[in-house]
Structure 1
Amino acid sequence: MNLENIGILTFLLYISIALAQGFHLFGRLTFPRWQYRVGSFLALSGHGWLLYRYIEMPEGQNLYWLCMLSFTLWLMNIITLIASFRAQVANLSSLTFPLSAISLALVMHFAGSDIMDTKAHPGVLAHIFISMFAISLLLLASLQAIFMGLQNHLLKHHKPSAILHILPPLQAMETLLFYIIWCGVLFFSGSLLSGFFYQGPLLTSHLLPKIILALCAWVLLVSLLLGRYRFGWRGPTAIRWTLSGTTFALLSYFGTKALLF
């Protein structure tokens, strides 16, 4: 089977699971967990194979920003699938899978070239993986925050919805949100530290915007965790700070990458 056929099947799997999960959220379809897990495993297998073929080149690895964005979403889906065995996070796939399908289609049709032999520079390779894990976790946190915002809105305005019966209680959603943020901040801190060691001279026109945006994201997210610990921040405040920090983190990597390439 050629790459295009694998890409089409993976795209259709992602969209089908997302639609099924969306209908499940609104109480219009029963979607057993085993079906989500089997479908997710197949979609992730196809996505992973395609990424390998588009990233791994004879002369090195293609780190073009679209490839890295799709790789980040792939990691995020893996984290979600693994976490679904312990927590009710499968609903996030109704948002993450369409994004993954679109990113995969973009890679297959518009992938550029930004080749680097990362195997010859293990420190840089470690920095890239740590950064991708950090971004994946922060993206998950932002999607969790979006679901929390929807849930909070429905409860505040006393609007009956099947979503309220599918999602865990708001307090459990909030606890999960901060757990994901803690993990994301740990990896993001590791990404910043490894970047100082392996990204070369820092104060250059090439890296300065990325560093400033990354530091803004780190300050926002750490401030959120401190505010949670010291002042009990929660609800809309936690949602706003999560989305703001994640936006800066995404811009620090993909925004600067897209502008430079």
Structure 2
Amino acid sequence: MQALLLALMASLLYLAAAAWQALTLARRVAPRPLLVRGLGVLGLLCHLPLAAGLFHDGQAVLPGLSTSAILIGAVVVVLLLAASLFKPVLNAAAGIFPLAGAALLLAVGLPSPERTTDMTPGIALHALSSALAFAVLAIAAVQAVLLGVQNHALRHHHIRGVVQSLPPLTTMERLLFEFIWAGMALLTLSIASGFLFLDSMFAQHLAHKTILSLAAWVIFAVLLFSHHRLGWRGMRAVHWTLGGCAVLLLAYFGSKFVLEIVLNRA
């Protein structure tokens, strides 16, 4: 009951912050970055006890569906709030915060993960880099959506509304590729540490995640190479970014959902 209350409070605070930022994008209210960050931080303060509750008496938890949703949700909110202090990316809160809140509410209702005490430093590195990679690329996905909206509006000569609230197109593209480069570095570390420290990355319960993670890595690698050598940008970059993030979403959560919810296997 307490977990559900905290999840509900966090979700409402995230939703309030996202709503204000969305209204700011629509030029319905004045920009209030301190308000959006403040609501986000309050939501995070309700979120973090649930993440901390996954660790009890020094024990680590297996990366199950509910565990991943709670932890990655917290990580992506922390990263967005931190990045917004240095980069003009707070607009992504309009998409990130509601998703984090919804994932948190859903995760609280899922079965609790099993606990284990044998998480070695190598496995911890793999889990941490995986969470960070997904979080950074999730922000990149929302940034890509905003860039797509901006591109579409400019092509149709719509220069009012959302377009006026966003940074210049070149800045938006630069931010997108900065997030993709950072996410690719973390994803590379995640895959490499998985091969080094896990018993078998192609074991039955890991094969789908491994194959899909490698596929996402290839998609992002092609995008970065083509952006550097062939000048890919605009809607092509948006489509490839969203495609890579969709594959990564299936890698991180799709197989867990099938195993734990559909097949009811821990």
Q: TM-score, normalised by structure 2?
A: 0.91
Indicate if the aligned counterparts of 1:7 and 1:47 stay in contact, CA closer than 8 A: yes
Deviation at 1:102, TM superposition (A): 0.9
1:43-192 to structure 2, matched below 5 A, reads 43-53=43-53, 55-58=54-57, 60-117=60-117, 120-192=119-191
Residue 170 of structure 1 aligns to which amino acid in structure 2? Answer: L
Deviation of 1:6 (Å): 2.8
Q: What amino acid is the match of 2:136?
A: L
- What secondary structure is seen at the aligned counterpart in 1 of 2:61? strand
Change (3 A) 1:202 1:34: closer
Amino acid at match of 2:124: L
Q: Equivalent residues in 2 for 1:228-247 (5 A)?
A: 228-247=227-246
Contact 2:69 2:104 in 1 (8 A): no
Instruction: Report deviation, 1:22.
Output: 0.9
Equivalence for 1:227: 226
Aligned CA-pair RMSD: 1.7
Are the aligned partners of 1:76 and 1:139 in contact in 2 as well (CA < 8 Å)? yes
More divergent stretch after superposition (31-40 vs 166-175): 31-40
Whether the 8 Å contact between 2:67 and 2:107 is mirrored in structure 1 is yes
Alpha-carbon distance between aligned partners in 2 of 1:212 and 1:7, rounded to the nearest angstrom: 33
Mapped contact 1:67–1:111 kept (Cα < 8 A): no
- Please state whether the residue corresponding to 2:248 is helix, strand or coil: helix
Asked if the contact 2:216/2:244 (under 8 Å) is kept, the reply is: yes
Cα deviation, residue 62, structure 1: 4.9
Partner of 1:217: 216
Contact 2:4 2:105 in 1 (8 A): no
Three-state SS of the structure 2 residue aligned to 1:175 is helix
> CA separation in 2, counterparts of 1:42 and 1:82?
14
Query: Closer, same or farther in 2 for the Cα pair 1:197/1:163, shift >3 Å?
Result: same
Consecutive unaligned residues in structure 1, runs of 5 or more:
none
Give the AA of the match of 2:75: L
TM-score calculated relative to the size of structure 1 = 0.93
Query: Does the 8 Å CA contact 2:216/2:248 hold for their aligned counterparts?
Result: yes
Deviates more, 1:98-107 or 1:63-72: 63-72
* Separation in 2, partners of 1:208, 1:106: 25
Q: For residue 255 of structure 1, what is the amino acid of its counterpart?
A: G
Q: Distance in 1 between matches of 2:60 and 2:125?
A: 15
Q: Which runs of 5+ in 2 are unaligned?
A: 261-266
Q: Which residue of 2 aligns with 1:202?
A: 201
SS in 2 for 1:188: helix
The answer on whether the counterparts of 1:151 and 1:164 sit within 8 Å (CA) in structure 2 is yes
CA distance in 1, matches of 2:213, 2:147: 25
Q: Take 2:199 and 2:66, find their aligned partners in 1: how far apart are those partners?
A: 23
Q: Partners in 1 of 2:92 and 2:169 — Cα distance? A: 15
Change (3 A) 1:230 1:48: same
3-state SS of paired residue (2:109): helix
8 Å CA contact retained: 1:217, 1:249 = yes
Query: 3-state SS of the aligned residue for 2:41?
Result: helix
Q: Does residue 24 in structure 1 map to residue 14 in structure 2?
A: no
